[in-house]
Every structure is written in structure tokens, then in C-alpha cells.
């Protein structure tokens, strides 16, 4: 049996940490300790609210995580789209450097040097036929030069020059020039082959084949002029020689 004084001290001690307790007589000498009803209700409500707060906190964490994942996916897509667009614009390759473009220009310049050499040999072969000098050698040279023109066309179709200014117009105009020049060489070859195989006693006449050669040569010259208008500024930019129509 505890005395009333002891119970009072216990109630005061417990009350220090919250709502005061009240002592309810139960049996003589014994008491139930109970908080007031309003305090108990608040206590139960507070405990009941804890799971709800925890649930909301968990939901917010899930939403934040989902938003972060969505943001990362969007950024990844945006970067990939930008890279893909850049690659489409450059044919899947990184942007060309100045040295890359210079190499492309030098490839065209090499074709032009060779074309100039072909023209020089062509003029000599025609002069030999007209002079009835070394006719067999001249005809052989003309046939070889026609084949070389075709090889130039094949090379021009395959080289990579996409980074040059007006690249496709440059390719198209030079292709036209080489194509007409090849036709001219073939016509001059046919003209020379019709000469007297025994060594012509007089210069061959300007036959239909010869006239065809001259007409094809004029068409080639017009295409060369169109080409040079675009090419010479590019050549000068990269330290390559500018050319005249007669040099191609």
C-alpha cells in the first residue's frame, strides 16, 4: 500500500513531461493514474498522424526521384538530338579542319596538272598528223590520251571534295570539261586513223571527225571557264596556282 503522499509525488513527477495526470480512486489505498480526456485524445491523434506524415514523405521522395529521372532522360535525348543533327549535316563525320580541306583542294589541283600535260601531248600529236610526221606514233598517243581523259573522269567522280566551297558545282563543271575533252580526243583519233597508213603524201583534210573534235573542244573550253570562276579563288586561298583555260 502506497500512501497518498507518495501518489501525489508520483503524479507531479510524471506531469513534468507532459499533461498532468489525475489520480482516480479505484480501491481503497489504490489509484489509477490517467491523463485528462482531452490530453489523451491529442496524444492518440498525434500518434495516428505519424504514419500519414511518413506516407506523404515517402510519396514526395518517389515523386522527386521520378522527376529527376525524367529530367536526365530529357537532357540525354536533347544532347543526342543535337549530336545527331550535327552528324547528319557533316555526313556522320566531325567537322573538317583546314588541313582536310587543303588536301581536297590539292586532289583537284593534281587532276588539273595532269590535264595540262594531256593537252600539251594532244597538241603535239595533232601537229604531227597534220605534218605527216610520225603518224603511227601520233595515233598511238591520241588513243592513249583518250584513255587518260576517261581515267581522269573516273578519278574525279570518286574523290572526296565535299568540304570545298561550291564543291558539287566545281565537280560538275570540271566533269563536263573533261567529258567534252575526251570526246574531242576520240574524234581527233578517228581523224588521224583515217590518214594514209603508208605515210600521207599531203596533210590530211579537215574531215568530219576533225570538225567534231573542234566542236567538242569548244564545249570543253566553255565548261573550263565556268569551272575556273569557282576554282581559282579556292586555289589562291590554299596557295595553289590559279589557271587559265589553255592550261587545263
Reduce the DSSP state of residue 226 to 3 states and report it.
Answer: helix
C-alpha closest to that of 227 among 173, 164, 182, 180:
173
pTM: 0.62
Mean pLDDT, all residues of the chain? 78
Which value, in Å, is the radius of gyration of the alpha carbons in the chain?
Answer: 49
DSSP label at 18?
Answer: S
Question: pLDDT digit string (tens) for 79-123?
Answer: 344 434 433 454 556 788 989 999 999 999 999 999 999 999 999
Q: Is 34 left (phi over 0), alpha (psi -120 to 50) or beta?
A: beta
Spatial contact of 140 and 187, defined as CB atoms under 8 Å apart: no
Amino acid at each position: 500500500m502506497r500512501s497518498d503522499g507518495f501518489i501525489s509525488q508520483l503524479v507531479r513527477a510524471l506531469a513534468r513531461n507532459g499533461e498532468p495526470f489525475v489520480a482516480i480512486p479505484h480501491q481503497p489505498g489504490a489509484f489509477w493514474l490517467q491523463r485528462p480526456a482531452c490530453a489523451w485524445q491529442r496524444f492518440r491523434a498525434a500518434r495516428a498522424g505519424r504514419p500519414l506524415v511518413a506516407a506523404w514523405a515517402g510519396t514526395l521522395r518517389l515523386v522527386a526521384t521520378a522527376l529527376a529521372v525524367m529530367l536526365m532522360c530529357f537532357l540525354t535525348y536533347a544532347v543526342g538530338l543535337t549530336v545527331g543533327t550535327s552528324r547528319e549535316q557533316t555526313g556522320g563525320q566531325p567537322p573538317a579542319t583546314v588541313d582536310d580541306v587543303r588536301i581536297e583542294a590539292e586532289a583537284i589541283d593534281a587532276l588539273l596538272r595532269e590535264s595540262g600535260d594531256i593537252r600539251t601531248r594532244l597538241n603535239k600529236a595533232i601537229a604531227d598528223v597534220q605534218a605527216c610526221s610520225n603518224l603511227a606514233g601520233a595515233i598511238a598517243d591520241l588513243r592513249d590520251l583518250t584513255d587518260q581523259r576517261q581515267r581522269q573522269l573516273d578519278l574525279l567522280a570518286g574523290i572526296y571534295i565535299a568540304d570545298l566551297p561550291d564543291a558539287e558545282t566545281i565537280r560538275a563543271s570540271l566533269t563536263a570539261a573533261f567529258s567534252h575533252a575526251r570526246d574531242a580526243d576520240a574524234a581527233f583519233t578517228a581523224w588521224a586513223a583515217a590518214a594514209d597508213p603508208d605515210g600521207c603524201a599531203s596533210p590530211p583534210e579537215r574531215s568530219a571527225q576533225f570538225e567534231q573534235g573542234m566542236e567538242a573542244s569548244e564545249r570543253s573550253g566553255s565548261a573550263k571557264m565556268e569551272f575556273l570562276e569557282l576554282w581559282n579563288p579556292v586555289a589562291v586561298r590554299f596557295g595553289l596556282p590559279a589557271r587559265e583555260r589553255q592550261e587545263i
